[in-house]
Structure 1
Amino acid sequence: MRIFNSRTVRAITVVAAAALVATGCSSERGKDGAKGGAKDTFVFAGAGDPGSLDPALASDGETFRVTRQAFEALLEHESGGSKLVGGLAETWSADPAGKVWTFNLRKGVKFHDGEAFNAAAVCANYDHWFNWKGTYQSSSVSYYWQSIMGGFAKNEDAEAPKPNYKSCTAKDENTAVIEVNEPSAQLPGGFSLQALAIHSPKAIKEYEKQDASAKGDAITYPKYSQEAGTVAGTGPYKITKWNKGNKEVTLERFDDYWGEKAKVKNLVFRTIDTEEGRRQALQAGDIDGYDLVSPADVKTLEKEGYNVPTRDVFNLFYVGMSQEKNAALKKPAVRQAIAHAIDRENLVKTQLPEGGKVATQFMPDTIAGYSDKVKTYAFDTNKSKELLKGAGESALKVEFCYPTEVTRPYMPAPQDMFELMKADLEKAGVTVTPKPMKWAPDYLDATEAGSCDLHMLGWTGDFNDGFNFIGTWFAGYDKQWGFKEPKVFDAVNGASKIADPVKRVEAYKAANEAIMEYLPGLPISSSPPAIAFGKNVNPPKVSPLTQENFAEVSFK
């Protein structure tokens, strides 16, 4: 999920109670919870605003954290783990060629708008995405569809990938068959993505009446995706309100949910964009939990009696380089110089929690396909200067973009991390022009469009396969990087098409070696992000994929 993910849920309550929740009124909510009555609202603070209530239009974890509570995909991951399990499909299978996927669907499932879930609904979703036109075909809007299923029924952009989706057939009411043109390592994992979660066919008809639009790098998302009322999934919560002024999304328990009902009636996601602000809000009793705990706060909160579980490592932080935006970056020696200029050990030591690691390649060492034989680039300011001089770029100037109003699992303090890297680059003689941008949608859209010489981003894996990391960036031309290197693309794509899992892992290792030889950007680090909950909270199982299910939450 991009940060990633990295993956909307809301609640409605009586007006008086909602007002008290929104303000964190101390007369009703004591420092550790309700005074004089059982709590029925759980408030969780994220680091950034969601970009859309329609997860199909998103690629970031803050959006998916919200939508995951309201929308379900055909497949899911086991609670607290990375193993694929049934979602809206109880069981699934593929033909030997990996081109025909059959899903045996759950019975008795309803959408939030009362529509029945069935095979026809599954096909309505996949055909809807496949037939997107105009701005919906922008990789900034339909990133995940293009990543998993390729292009569209009619590609309008010469750079759009070849479509891999072929068809969806409702074999009977409870059996959906999805066919693809070529086998892919993205499947079956891709069927678990929030971006491919299933919406009510009635809602889709309303979606199709509206268009997205673009002006330069700025995307204007359709109205239905920016306010509650139209989107409808099958999840344990339904979205009832998005108060952008207060930076809150509200969800209410869906009592007709097919599975185990949510333990808390109302769910509120609130944006607090600083680590200190989130910690103080928890300590004051204004919220019941928050994500991306500062490494320095973990032990303090634990001593005070808060629950602060740490997720397993499943992410990567990197510096991207746009070769189309800055021609100097087309030179291998310049990219190598930037790699040698940045002190990654210091960044990990000073900015990441215990367990953080320097990255040598574009996947963490917890993923099969990680190679011990990649070319490495040790911190060496003098070597960086020599490489720049040899490339005729001793006076190199770069615009370096970084996000504001957000922290991510792989990037706990964006500005601090940027300042460290800026200082390192300047010691090597590089002139750095900072360009801070609001995370969503400005920064995400700009980096996706390749509008920054250098930028900092990351990824939290969606499912456990090497292609979910390196295939995310290097399976073909991507505006974020702006390069066309067949050796890299062929290595990544070739690995993804190998059916034998053992041979595929070896091919991923070779692909990692090819990527780091070419060096399109610099992998920086991987880290185990912590998440905090109030003293009176029974937390959900924490997920290495940051896919927590808040229907599991209850109060003591």
Structure 2
Amino acid sequence: MRIRKSRAARAVVVTLAMGLAVTSCASDRDEGGKGEAGDTFIFGAAGDPGSLDPALASDGETFRVTRQAFEALIEHEPGGSQLVGGLAESWEGSEDGTEWTFKLRKDVEFHDGEKLTAEAVCKNYDHWFNWSGTYQNSAVSYYWQTIMGGFKKNEDKETPEANYVSCTAEDELTPVIKVKEATANLPGGFSLQALAIHSPKAIDAYAKEEAKGEGDAITYPKYSQEAGTVAGTGPFKISKWNKGNKEITLERFDDYWGKKAGVEKLVFRTLDTEEGRRQALQAGDIHGYDLVAPADVKTLEKDGFQVPTRDVFNIFYLGFNQENNKLLKKKEVREAIAHAIDRDNIVETQLPEGGVKASQFMPDTVAGYSGDVKVYEQDVEKSKELLADAGEKNPTLDFCYPTEVTRPYMPAPADMFELMKTDLQKAGFKVKPRAMKWNPDYLDSVQNGKCSLYLMGWTGDFNDGYNFIGTWFGGYDKQWGFKDDKVFDAMKAASSEPDAEKRTELYKKANEVIMDFLPGLPISSSPPSIAFAKDVNPPKVSPLTQENFAEVSFK
């Protein structure tokens, strides 16, 4: 998951407190999946979450946690990208794509005892639609703005026009959501964690608190920073967030409508380095971790650990912000950067087997990938010539990169930054490094246009080309800081086309327009690995990195 509108994750081994690292056997559980009181699965996370309310987030580490507690109207099949029923057993769109009718499951209960109804669903959507103040900041309401546009009353001229119209309860279990215009973001957008459904009682509590601040200095509301208020319908409920120990604890929700979770407790503990996570798994202090370093896969497998690899469904890119640095408004300078970077070297030295160099802002596993985009191979001399043509000699660029994080598309941010910095210096650029903690400093800075160059990427939320290129290039975005009618018009044509086959062809044309304009440089796509202990029955791994930890149990 993923950053946009803004269109818009360390080398000390942490030993967990006694009582957390446990073992168990199959006889400890009955057929319904209920384990003993000490039945705890511990997962080593790569970064801290930003919020317990997924509607306020746009990053994968937050969603990894909230996905276990909150459910959306539509979900993805386990281990795949096919849309299936979530809180809604079924759904149907009108022929013109502006009206969506959902049939909710019966007898679904929220963690606080409230019942799932059509009115509860509408209360969520109307709550988001009526956000004001700091909630309208694109770094806070990124996904709402990406999927539904703006708000009932926009407070900033740069906020997109609202596409959301209304949500009405046709009967107790039939909510109907209307939008102004058809969009390629639906129905996929209904599967997003940021649009997962919260308890009506919780929504009332949320409304009493406010987010504050602006730019890269945002204070999130208290309810989103400590357990106790947020309430979803998922197989786990959030019971504790110990920020000092970088640990979140979830407990099994025994009134869950579906199959009960296979463990009593689920703990996410942030371990800042890949080495720290690997050593913690090897020592038995955790039972799993994500984003295994390519060099560690075979070692772990040889020692008996389980290391499944996901299918490729992401993109890693070097972003340019043309408002932050006027040099980047010159196409020759952008092309000089593109020709300076040795992407083959990055793929060969930094990515696991199966990693590939990118030619555009989506992997070739997504419909709409084009074989006719403009290609920018490494050519240092050409890079220097382009700078000369632009009238620039040894231009200086600030280059932001994140710390305390590993992402599916970016296994080692600092190492990847160093390779690119060296490439740029060889071509005549002066590079000013700016290292920032991933969450919230780096994310907020990138989303609010505070970085000239930056490293970022995207793991698809759902399988439609617009979820990649439409994420960034459907209109003005602070993250990129440019306005170009050719790019925006190409994206609008694709987004508003209801026919899937025609839309795919329009995505191809849009990719060609985007890569000619060159708003940034696509670097690579990577198949990330995830590791589990020997005694774990792991969940189905997801190309969208949307693993459901309720599927976990111990052997």
What TM-score does the superposition give when structure 1 sets the normalisation length? 0.95
Secondary structure in structure 2 of the residue aligned to 1:345: helix
Equivalent residue, structure 2, for 1:23: 16
Q: Give 2:457's aligned residue.
A: 458
Distance in 2 (alpha carbons) for counterparts of 1:430 and 1:478: 26
> Do the aligned residues in 2 keep the contact of 1:251 with 1:268 (CA within 8 Å)?
yes
Matched, 1:249 2:242: no
What SS does the aligned partner of 2:468 have?
helix
Q: Does 1:214 align with 2:213?
A: yes
Alignment of structure 1 residues 293-372 onto 2, 5 Å:
293-372=292-371
Aligned to 2:72, what secondary structure does the other structure show? coil
Moved >2 Å (runs of 4+): 21-25, 27-30, 36-39
The aligned counterpart of 1:422 is 421
Instruction: Answer yes or no: is the 8 Å Cα contact 1:3–1:61 preserved in 2.
Output: no
Unaligned runs of 5+ in 2: 5-13, 29-35
Shift of 1:339: 0.3
How far the C-alpha of 1:54 sits from its partner, in A, is 0.1
> 1:181-200 maps to which residues of 2 (within 5 A)?
181-200=180-199
User: Are 1:94 and 1:100, in contact at CA under 8 Å, matched by a contact in 2?
Assistant: yes
Would the aligned equivalents of 1:240 and 1:250 in 2 still touch at CA under 8 Å? Answer: yes
Provide the rounded CA distance (Å) in 1 between the counterparts of 2:63 and 2:413. Answer: 20
Q: Is the 8 A contact 2:24 2:39 kept in 1?
A: no
SS of corresponding position for 2:254: coil
Cα pair 2:215 2:448 within 8 Å, conserved: no
1:493 aligns with 2:486: no
Unaligned runs of 5+ in 1: 5-20
Q: How does 1:219-238 map to 2 (within 5 A)?
A: 219-238=218-237
For 2:238, the equivalent position in structure 1 comes to: 239
| 2:448 aligned partner, one-letter code | A
> Is residue 88 of structure 1 aligned with residue 87 of structure 2?
yes
1:216 deviates by 4.0
Task: Name the structure 2 match of 1:14.
Answer: none
Deviation of residue 23 (structure 1)?
A: 2.3
Is contact 2:51-2:225 (8 Å) kept?
A: yes
C-alpha distance after superposition, 1:306-337 (max 9, x if no partner):
01000000000001101000000000000000
| Cα distance in 2 for residues equivalent to 1:335 and 1:541 | 41
Identity %: 72
Q: Distance in 1 between the 2:78 and 2:69 partners?
A: 16
Q: 2:215, 2:445 within 8 Å by CA — same for their partners in 1?
A: no
Distance in 2, matches of 1:260 and 1:117, equals 17
Contact 2:237–2:250, Cα closer than 8 Å, also in 1 = yes
| Pair 1:427–1:176, CA change in 2 (3 A) | same
SS in 2 for 1:23: coil
User: Matched residue of 1:279: which SS?
Assistant: helix
Corresponding position of 1:117: 116
Corresponding residue SS for 2:481:
coil
In structure 1, what residue type is equivalent to 2:491? Answer: V
Say if 2:2 and 2:461, in contact at 8 Å, map to a contact too. Answer: no
Question: For residue 406 of structure 1, what is the aligned residue in structure 2?
Answer: 405
Of 36-45 and 517-526, more deviation after overlay is shown by 36-45
What is the CA distance between 1:215 and its match in structure 2?
Answer: 4.3
Query: Does the Cα contact within 8 Å between 2:323 and 2:481 map onto a contact in 1?
Result: yes
Deviation at 1:415, TM superposition (A): 0.2
For the 8 Å contact 1:398–1:431, the answer to whether it is kept is yes
- Aligned ranges 1:466-477 → 2 under 5 Å: 466-477=465-476
What amino acid is aligned across from residue 23 of structure 1 in structure 2? L
Aligned residue type for 2:260 = K
Q: How does 1:50-69 map to 2 (within 5 A)?
A: 50-69=49-68
Counterpart check, 1:131 vs 2:124 = no
Give the drift of 1:273.
1.6
After TM superposition, give the deviation of residue 22 of structure 1 in Å. Answer: 7.5
How far off is 1:464 after superposition? Answer: 0.2
**Deviation (angstroms), 1:500:** 1.4
Hey, what's the Cα distance between the residues in 1 that align with 2:24 and 2:3?
31
Which is further off, 384-393 or 285-294?
384-393
CA distance in 2, matches of 1:229, 1:50: 16
Matched with 1:288 is: 287
Post-superposition Cα deviations, 1:90-127, rounded to whole Å, max 9, x if no partner, equal: 00001111111000000100000001110000000000
1:528 is matched with 527
Q: CA deviation at 1:130?
A: 0.2
- Report if the CA contact (8 A) 2:134-2:214 is conserved: no
- CA-to-aligned-CA distance 1:181-223 (integer Å, 9 cap, x gap): 0000000000000000000010011101111111442111000
Cα contact 2:20–2:40 (8 A) shared by 1? no
Q: Give, as a single letter, the amino acid of the residue that structure 1 aligns with 2:459.
A: T
- Report the CA distance shift for 1:29/1:174 in structure 2 as closer, same or farther (over 3 A): closer
**Structure 1 counterpart of 2:376, which letter?**
Y
1:158 aligns with 2:178: no
Change (3 A) 1:555 1:446: same
Q: What is the distance in 2 between the residues matched to 1:494 and 1:479?
A: 22
The yes-or-no answer on 1:376 pairing with 2:360 is no
Q: Give the whole-Å Cα distance in 2 for the aligned partners of 1:3 and 1:498.
A: 24
Aligned to 2:2: 2
User: What residue number does 2:9 align with?
Assistant: none
Q: Which secondary structure does the structure 1 equivalent of 2:504 belong to? A: helix
Asked if 1:144 is matched to 2:143, the reply is: yes
Q: Scaled by the length of structure 2, what TM-score is found? A: 0.95
Counterpart amino acid of 2:184? Answer: A
Q: What is the one-letter code of the residue matched to 1:161?
A: P
User: Which residue identity is paired with 1:89?
Assistant: A
Contact 2:215–2:444 (CA under 8 A) maintained in structure 1: no
1:155 is aligned with what amino acid?
Answer: N
CA–CA distance in structure 2, aligned partners of residues 29 and 59 of structure 1:
31
Distance 1:356 1:504 in 2: 27
Q: Secondary structure at the match of 1:339?
A: helix
Query: Partners in 2 of 1:29 and 1:224 — Cα distance?
Result: 29
Letter of the structure 1 residue corresponding to residue 468 of structure 2: F
Structure 2: how far apart are the matches of 1:393 and 1:62? 40
CA distance in 2, matches of 1:283, 1:319: 34
Distance 1:28 1:253 in 2: 16
C-alpha distance after superposition, 1:372-427 (max 9, x if no partner): 00001000111111101110112210000000000000000000000000000000
Q: Give the SS at the match of 2:319.
A: strand
SS of match in other structure, 2:491:
helix
**Partners of 1:341 and 1:60 in 2: how far apart?**
29
2:21–2:42 contact (8 Å) kept in structure 1: no
**In structure 2, what is the equivalent of residue 17 of structure 1?**
none
Query: Cα–Cα, structure 1 residues 3 and 179, in superposed 2: closer, same or farther, change >3 Å?
Result: closer
Paired with 2:208 and 2:344, the residues of 1 have a C-alpha distance of: 51
CA contact (8 A) 1:3 1:460 kept: no
Distance 1:264 1:3, change over 3 A: farther
Determine the C-alpha separation between the residues in 2 that align with 1:469 and 1:207.
31
The 1:28–1:268 alpha-carbon spacing in structure 2 relative to 1, beyond 3 Å, is: closer
Match of 1:440 in 2: 439
Query: Which residues of 2 match residues 270-289 of structure 1 at below 5 A?
Result: 270-289=269-288
Contact 1:24 1:285 in 2 (8 A): no
Q: Cα deviations across residues 18-65 of structure 1 (Å, max 9, x unaligned)?
A: xxx98254x9847x779x986600000111000000000000000000
Aligned length: 537
Please give the per-residue CA displacement for 1:514-538, whole angstroms capped at 9, x wherever unaligned.
Answer: 0000000000000000000000000
Alignment check: 8 A CA contact 2:21 2:286 kept = no
CA distance in 2, matches of 1:238, 1:535: 26
Task: State the partner residue of 1:512.
Answer: 511
Letter in structure 2 aligned against 1:2: R
**Cα pair 1:24 1:286 within 8 Å, conserved:** no
1:29 and 1:459 mapped to 2: Cα distance?
33
